[in-house]
Amino acid sequence: MAVRFEKWEGLGNDFVVVSPEAAEGLDARAVCDRHRGIGADGVLIVSPPGTGPARMRVINADGSEPEMCGNGLRCAALSLVAAGLAPAGRPFPVLTGAGLHTCEVVDGAAGLVRVTMRPPALAPAEVPTTLPAEQGAVLDRAIHLGARALAVSCVSMGNPHAVTFDPLDGSERAELGPLLEAATDLFPARVNAGFARLTGPRAIELFVHERGAGWTEACGTGACAAAVAAVATGRIAPGGPIAVTLPGGTLTIEVPAPGQPVRMTGPARRVFVGELG
């Protein structure tokens, strides 16, 4: 039986969006194969609101299931609005594996979506990481990956992130990204590895090696984690917008006072619709 799907992308982070009914028996690895399938970083299973809020479930290209995906959530939110299943111009909740998030399409023509994320967690047990904390957080902590020393800050946005601001070139990032993601002695659930560089008083350049997807054009939760790490380490003051530029484009992140929700604003776009099978 043919399965109807929509292809969406947020700053080049691309997804196959299906209903729960269409997802039954679907092999995410085959669907995400860029040579023999549709091609995507992951599959989003989006349920419309009913007796409860709308839901989004994420399956990575390797078949693993992360708790949360920021770019995916913007795509899911805009797909619900486009289908008339959620209000345009008003906030509405979407339940994810990392809890409830509030979404709002702030500019439908531009596909601009604002997401109120969950408050970030810095405590090691919540990331999770085995690295020891100082004053309740793991910030600029030196670790060793093979022969290389690296300073990382650990943040959970509902999924685990390790962010480094160490100056690294492309070949060093290419080597260290997979090693950091797979360092299960330090990160029992693996980790999204973020390589950040300050490019201005409130601007960050970021490259992310994602769990289950590898190097990605963009990572919404990774952008939030990098901004949180920059604020927590005193590199950037809290409060105002922070521009986080990834290979696929720029997200605007707002990090308020500690313990408060982070806000992420960026675009999403439907690429095409089709049938599989």
Check residue 247 and report its DSSP letter.
T
Annotated active-site residue 219? The verdict is yes
Helix segments in the chain, DSSP class H: 20-23, 28-32, 70-82, 170-181, 220-232
3-state class (DSSP) for residue 166: coil
Catalytic residue among 32, 69, 75, 154: 69
**Region for residue 196 given its phi and psi (left: phi exceeds 0; alpha: psi -120 to 50; beta: otherwise):** beta
Whether 208 and 160 have beta carbons less than 8 Å apart is answered as no
Strands (E), the chain: 3-10, 13-18, 42-47, 54-60, 92-96, 99-107, 112-116, 141-145, 148-156, 160-164, 192-200, 203-210, 214-215, 241-246, 249-254, 263-267, 269-276
141-160 burial code (b ≥16 CB/10 A, e <16) = bebebeeeebebbbbbbbbb
Catalytic residue among 32, 75, 103, 219: 219
Burial class (CB in 10 A: 0-12, 13-18, 19+), 175: middle
Report in angstroms the alpha-carbon separations of 11 from 6, 129, 152, 167, 247.
Answer: 16, 29, 25, 24, 8
Annotated active-site residue 103? The verdict is no
Tell me which residues are annotated as active site: 69, 219
